[in-house]
Amino acid sequence: MKKKLKVLVLFDGVQPTPIDADLSKEMKTEEWQTEANVMAALKELDHVSEHLAIFDDLDLVRQKMESFQPDVLFNLVEQFKNNPGFDQNIVSLLEMQGVPFTGCGSTGLTLCKHKGISKKILGHHGILAPNFVVIPRGQRIGGPRQLKFPILVKPVKEEASYGISRASFVQNDEQFRERVAFVHEKYKSDAIAEEYIEGREIYVSIMGNTRLTVFPMRELVFKEVPPNEPRIATYKAKWDEKYRKRWGLEGQFAENLDAALVKEIEKMCKDIFRLLTIDGYARIDLRLTVDNKAYFIEANPNPHLAADEDFAQSALKAGLPYPQLIQALVGLGMRMPRG
């Protein structure tokens, strides 16, 4: 029989939240679906679980660990003080305390978040990724140098497509400079400019520490986007249901990929997982060109875990129902040597 565990689930707090906050109302909303799904799964698995929302007070973690004495932490934290740049710092603290937790360690989180560093590492190991340049703030914005248009300009560290819109897709020097300046000023972020890779948008979910399992691939299809328009998972494409409907954006399992290509992509994604020192689980995002070349776009350690999101959907397709997936992630977290 499976051991009954004490699991402390760490949430993002969007404002200062007391240690024993009642979040049941929040958890009924769409924004808290992941939290609600994970708590429900842990209950179904018969573990004893409690949650703690972190806003800006890490001492709460210490207090909660002392009072609850969890066997493992389930980490759903993506930001600190509403700043998504700090998720790896929170994990660093957990690593120093020697407490087991689910998902990725601080190094993997740091490497994946920086869209320039991750691509440099992968490029060094021969993994195909778009050509890019990083344009730091405070530096005169020149042209895109050796890059070929069209180009996509993004904040170098953001996530969830913050800062990515139709205007990120630039086709000449003027648009390029304008968008880079916009990213610098509006997002207070260094910018990365990447050659735009035309192709299918493929999401590959992987789970494991050393032995890795790749789940069936998902694809974001753009059914109603006119042929001459770029196909980009912009902020609206991810989060605005009306917009998704209008442009026919749908997540589905990737079809018509031949077996050899699937094998090749799986191997590539396992390599990426290891090279970027990811632990536990991740979703690797790729673009697949018409001539079947797979380009790395981004690795997402600790990807969204809501039951209806790509990661859980892929796991389910592989025969892992949601509670069993959560159980597997807990097990991997407990077995992962840290530090």
Ligand X SMILES: Nc1ncnc2c1ncn2[C@@H]1O[C@H](COP(=O)(O)OP(=O)(O)O)[C@@H](O)[C@H]1O
Question: 315 by DSSP, 3-state: which?
Answer: helix
Residue 306 binding: pick among Mg ion, ligand X, none (C-beta 5-8 Å cut-off by kind): none
Which of the stretches 53-61, 64-72, 134-142, 150-158 binds ligand X when contact is defined by CB under 6 A? 150-158
Smaller CB distance to ligand X: residue 20 or 224? Answer: 224
Q: Which of 87, 190, 219, 298 lies at the binding interface for Mg ion (CB under 5 A)?
A: 298
CB of 80 to ligand X, least distance (A): 18
Using CB under 6 A as the criterion, what x/- string covers residues 291-320 for binding ligand X? ------xx----------------------
95-104: buried (b, 16+ CB within 10 Å) or exposed (e) per residue? beeebbbbbb
Closer CB to Mg ion, residue 72 or residue 276? 276
Taking the least distance from each CB to Mg ion, the nearer of 91 and 237 is: 237
Site membership for Mg ion, residue 158 (CB under 5 A): no
The structure tokens listed for 85 are 């740049």
Question: What is the nearest approach in angstroms of ligand X to the Cβ of residue 114?
Answer: 11
Q: Measured between alpha carbons, how far is 117 from 152 in angstroms, rounded to an integer? A: 17
Euclidean distance between CA atoms 96 and 291, whole angstroms: 47
Q: Which does 105 bind (CB under 5 to 8 A by kind): ligand X, Mg ion, none?
A: none
Per CB under 5 A, the segment of 15-23, 52-60, 200-208, 291-299 that binds Mg ion is 291-299
Buried b (16+ CB within 10 A) or exposed e, 152-187: bbbbbbbbebebbeeebbbeeeebbbebbebbbeeb
Residue 152 touching ligand X (CB under 6 A):
yes
Unique residue bearing structure tokens 């969204």: 304
What's the gap between Cα 22 and its chain centre?
Answer: 27
Selection from 276, 328, 302, 117 nearest residue 205 by Cα: 302
Q: Strands, DSSP E only, in 210-259?
A: 212-214, 218-222, 249-253
Residue pair 294/201 in contact by the 8 Å Cβ criterion: no
Residue with Cβ nearer ligand X (70 or 301) = 301
Q: Given CA atoms 105, 309, 118, 187 in this order, what sign does their dihedral have?
A: negative
Q: 249 with 237: CB under 8 angstroms?
A: yes
Judged by CB, which is closer to ligand X: 160, or 336? 160
As measured in angstroms, the least distance from the Cβ of 285 to Mg ion is 5
Stretch that binds ligand X, among 28-36, 96-104, 189-197, 304-312 (CB under 6 A): 189-197
SS3 88: helix
The residues facing 300 across adjacent strands are 283
197 contacts ligand X (rule: CB under 6 A) = yes
| Residues numbered 77-116 forming contacts with ligand X, rule: CB under 6 A | 115
Interacting partner of 273 out of Mg ion, ligand X, none (Cβ under 5 to 8 A depending on kind):
none
SS3 content of the chain, % helix, strand, coil (to 5): 35, 20, 40
Closest distance to ligand X from the beta carbon of 308 (Å): 18
Residue nearer to Mg ion on the CB measure, 10 or 297: 297
Residue 164 interacting entry, from ligand X, Mg ion, none, C-beta within 5 to 8 Å by type? ligand X
Nearer Cβ to ligand X (221/275): 221
Using DSSP, state whether 196 is helix, strand or coil. coil
Q: What's the closest the beta carbon of residue 300 comes to Mg ion, in angstroms?
A: 6
State yes or no: residue 161 binds ligand X (CB under 6 A).
yes
- Name the site residues for ligand X (rule: CB under 6 A): 115, 130, 152, 154, 158-162, 164, 194, 196-197, 201, 232-233, 285, 287, 297-298
- Name the site residues for Mg ion (rule: CB under 5 A): 298
